[in-house]
Each structure stands twice: as structure tokens, then as C-alpha cells.
Structure 1
Amino acid sequence: MARKPKKEPAGAPAWMVTFSDMVTLLLTFFVLMLSMARLDKMKFMDAAGSLRGAFGVLGSSDKAEVTKPKIVDVAPIFDDLVTRVYKRIQSHMQRLRIDRDIELVKDRGAVVLRVNSAILFDSGKTTIKPEAEPILRKVAELVRPLPMSLRIEGHTDNTRSRRSGLSNWDISVQRAVNVLKFMAANKLMPLDRMSAVGYGSLHPVIDNDTPEHRAMNRRVEFVLENLGNYREELPYLIDATEQLPF
């Protein structure tokens, strides 16, 4: 009597299930690797270490040592720039013989030329005095060759303004803007390198407790700042030799 052929079970062969699982895992693995292609070296190695246990195909289980990227310390760069600009302006001020009219200081991480308001304006006024124009021209002569932008700041003391409709803040703003307009109109500085702001009595250099101290707080400051966006870029510079090619 002839033997009946063995009946095959319905559906895909059993080996196809294992093969499909392996292909799915490999696909997931390569998608994961592709998604990490733009990550930094530290994150890549951390992810690779996690995958070792899951797949067992990435070599030895020994933890790879990764050197952290070197962050550039930008503080000395800024300090050196400010110091060099300060010394250069100080030397030129002595040459131009305006060191008695203008106070040169380093403040808020910048170089500041500080001029008493009495030199530039009459009391309570916002129009530049004619005799102050040579001083402003010399300020522009100091700043123009430098790779710096110029912020003109107006400041007052805390004495209430006696001009109707004008507060100390209004006076400080108008004075700063009028100085900017004078420099722009006489082509002493490119307009795109200048800005003007008024602070009123909000930023005194000394307490307003005596007439002499209040006079010191009535001033116009020329704040020199570096051109460009290096303040945003430098803190993120890292040593390129420590990076992966991708």
C-alpha cells in the first residue's frame, strides 16, 4: 500500500518568520544609524554603546573613551580687544590734546568715551553748542579707523526737568539723537555703524547727593563695540580635530 505524502502546513514556511524578524531589525538599525548621522561624537558613541547590548554585533563591549570637544574660552579674546582699543585711543587722545575734555574708561566690557553734557549742551537744552563741534569731530576721528560700532548714550542726573513737556528721559534721548545726526550730516561716521539711546537718570556713575556728583552724571557716552556677530559665534567654536567627519 502506497504511503500518502506528508501534508505541508498552511501559510509561509517557518524560516520566513525568523528571516522577516532579522530583516526588520536590520532595517530599524540602519534607520537609527542614519538618523544619528548629524549628531556629535559624544551622542553617537553613547547610542552605539546602548546598541551593543541589543544587537551584539558592534564589536567588543569595552567602553570607548571619547575626548570631549574643547570649548574656546572667549573671555581673554574680548579682554584683549578692549585693552588694545583702550590703549590706542588713549594715545591718540593725548596726541589730539582732548584728554582733558573726554574721560576714557573701560565699562561693561567695552571702551567708553565719556563727555560731560556741559561741554556739548547748555543747561536743559538739547541743541549742540557750536563750540562743541570740534570735540565731536575729534571723537569721530578717534573712532572711525577702528573696526568698531558706536553707540551714543545720553544721561542726566535725577533733578526734575524744568522744561515743560520734557522729562529727563526725553532730554537724554534728544541729546543722543542730535549728536548722531551731527555726525551723520557731516559724514564723520557711517550711519550704519551708529546708534543712539537715552537713559535719563537710570545709570548714574555716582550718587546724586551733591551738585558736583549730579554734574558728573549729566553726560554723553560714546560706547565702542566690535562690529559683526562674533559675540554669538565665538562661544560655540570647538576644536574641529575632535569632530567626526560627518
Structure 2
Amino acid sequence: MAKRRRKKEEQHTDESWLIPYADLLTLLLALFVILFGMSSLDAQKFRQLASAFNATLTGGTGVLEYPYPPNEIEKTDVENADLLKMKEEEKEAERNKIKEEKNQLNEVEEKINTYIDEKNLSGKLQTTLTSEGLLITILDDILFDSGKADVRNQDIQLAKEISELLVMNPPHHVVISGHTDNVPIKNSHFDSNWHLSVMRAVNVMKILLENEQLDPKMFSAKGYGEFKPVASNDTAVGRQKNRRVEILVLPYGTNEKNRN
């Protein structure tokens, strides 16, 4: 009887191994679910999940220990390459724009210089191509009497001819500024050099805008008084250079508000 009972116990199979096997299958299933959904995970969520699983599944390195999923790395490389290419294209377009704009301003400068030579105005009218744009300088004794802001009758035609030179396609923003020397002024019309310089700029602008081909929206006027000299006020020659009206033709697409 005892022998038969012992035989039955030997025939009984130990099934305790099924528990860890089932746990392993569950973990593998969870891993494949994560890998399947990896394409829709952003990098931050992936790193969070990776950190959580690596804390649980210790020992060795695996895909969960990478900071980015493989397809995310590939996607990032492609995006970076596209971004670099886009930036290079933008830079090239900007260089071409600057070159084209410079050529256009050069053409305007040549046209004005030809006019200056024809009218023998080299000592009164000057052009300079600066980083801000094309600067046309008019010394005050060609337009104004001393201490006055009204353009002289004999010089109105000159201002009108200058307006013809400012007709451009496309139109550019133009800033007209008045400047004086540092000799104080105070009369019944003006209480300061600043006041005088502003009115001179405004009066020049009014004559220019009598040309219907010019758009008033593209023009502005300002006065600096004696505060932006181009020469020393210690000599008569220097003071004469400082008494001036400047016409600044800005590059296309630039206006007074976004000037540096």
C-alpha cells in the first residue's frame, strides 16, 4: 500500500515553473506594446517610460536605455538638415537682396551725380552711399537765407529737380533732416536751432512732395539742430558744413521705424 502511494507521488509533475514563465511573457508583451507605440511617443514621454522600466528591469543595456527612440533620432537628423538648408537659402536670398538694393542705390547716386556735374553744384550738393542708404547733402546757403527756414524763390526749382531724381520703382522711404551750427538763434520766428532745423526739413519736404509721382507716405522730416555736426564749429568753414539739409534714401523695405 505504501509502495503504491509513493509511486503516485513520483508521477505528479511539479508545475511551479509556470508562474515565472507567465511573468516573463507578461513583461515581453508589455515591451512589444511599448515598442509598437514608440512611433507616436514624443522624446520626453519616451525618456520617462524608459527611466521607469530601466529602474524595474535592471541588468544589461537595452533599447530602453537610449535617450531617444531610433526613429526619433533619424527624424531629428532630417529636421536639422532641412533647417540648415532653409537657413542657407534665407541667407543667400538676403545677400542677393542686399546686392540688388545696393545696385539700385548706386544707379540713383550716379543719376544725381550726373545732375550735380551738369549744374556745377559739386560744392553745394553731395552724395554719399552709407550703411543706412543713399545720403544727399544740401548745404544751407543754397536753399536758405541766414536764420530763415523758407526755401528761397531762386532755389525752389532746384528742390523740384531733386524731387525728380527721387522717383524710384519701387518707391523707397526718404528721411529729410535739418541741421545747424552751434551759434545760438532766437528771433520772432524760432526760439532755438532745433526749431529752425525742423522747419527747414519740413519746408524742403513740402516742395519735394509737390511732385505727384512721390508718395507722401514714404517721406518723413526731422530736425537735429546743432547736435549732429559733421565738422568743427570753431571755424567758419566748419559751421558752414554743419548748416545743411540731408535727404536719406533708405534701402527698399526699410522704414524709419525699423532703422537701427
Could you state the TM-score of these two structures normalised by the residue count of structure 1?
Answer: 0.66
Corresponding residue to 2:125 among 102, 123, 133: 102
Residue of 184, 193, 214 corresponding to 1:168: 193
* 1:137-193: CA deviation from partner (whole Å, max 9, x where unpaired): 111111124643322111111112223662211211111112212333463632122
Against the structure 1 CA distance between its residues 146 and 103, is the aligned structure 2 distance closer, same or farther, given a 3 Å change threshold?
A: farther
Given that residues 153 and 199 in structure 1 are in contact (C-alpha distance below 8 angstroms), is that contact kept between their aligned partners in structure 2?
Answer: yes
CA distance in 1, matches of 2:169, 2:119: 16
Q: In 2 relative to 1, CA 116–195 (structure 1 residues): closer, same or farther, beyond 3 Å?
A: same
Picking from 11, 20, 44, the partner of 2:33 is 20
Give the number of the structure whose residues are more often helix, by fraction.
2
SS in 1 for 2:209: helix
Where does the alignment leave 5 or more consecutive residues of structure 1 unmatched?
33-50, 231-246
Tell me, in whole angstroms, the C-alpha distance in 2 between the residues paired with 1:57 and 1:146.
Answer: 51
Q: 1:73-130 deviations in whole A, cap 9, x for unaligned?
A: 4665554343332222212333455545422333344222211112222222222222
Question: Identity rate of aligned residues, in percent?
Answer: 24
Kept in 2, the 8 Å contact 1:82–1:109? The answer is no
Q: Distance in 1 between matches of 2:73 and 2:211?
A: 72
**Which residue of structure 2 aligns with residue 179 of structure 1?**
204
Asked if 1 retains the 8 angstrom alpha-carbon contact of 2:137 and 2:245, the reply is yes
Which structure has more RCO (C-alpha within 8 Å, separation ≥ 6)?
1
Q: Which moved more, 1:144-153 or 1:96-105?
A: 96-105
| Cα distance in 1 between the residues matched to 2:241 and 2:68 | 71
SS across alignment from 2:248:
strand
Q: Is the CA contact 1:52–1:59 (under 8 Å) kept in the aligned structure 2?
A: no
Q: Which has the larger radius of gyration?
A: 2
Number of the residue aligned with 2:58: none
Structure 1 residues 182 and 56: alpha-carbon distance in aligned structure 2, compared to 1, 3 A threshold: closer
- 2:80 maps to 1:80: no
Number of aligned pairs?
209
- Residues in 1 aligned to 2:71 and 2:144: alpha-carbon distance in whole angstroms: 79
| In 1: Cα distance, 2:177 partner to 2:71 partner | 65
Cα displacement (A) at 1:210 = 0.5
- For residues 104 and 161 of structure 1, the distance between their equivalents in structure 2, rounded to whole angstroms, comes to 29
1:52-92 CA distance string (max 9 Å, x none):
874456899xx99x695443346655543433322222123
Residue 28 of structure 1 deviates from its aligned partner by 0.9
Superposed displacement of residue 213, structure 1: 1.1
- CA distance in 2 between partners of 1:57 and 1:205 (Å): 63
Give the structure 2 partner of residue 119 of structure 1.
142
Residue 202 of structure 2 aligns with an amino acid whose one-letter code is: V
CA distance in structure 2 between the partners assigned to 1:58 and 1:104 by the alignment: 57
> Any gaps of 5 or more consecutive residues in structure 2?
1-7, 46-64, 256-260
Q: Secondary structure at the match of 2:228?
A: coil
Matches of 1:160 and 1:95, distance apart in 2: 36
* Pick aligned residue for 1:133 from 141, 156, 161: 156
Kept in 1, the 8 Å contact 2:173–2:254? The answer is no
Q: Which amino acid aligns with 2:175?
A: R
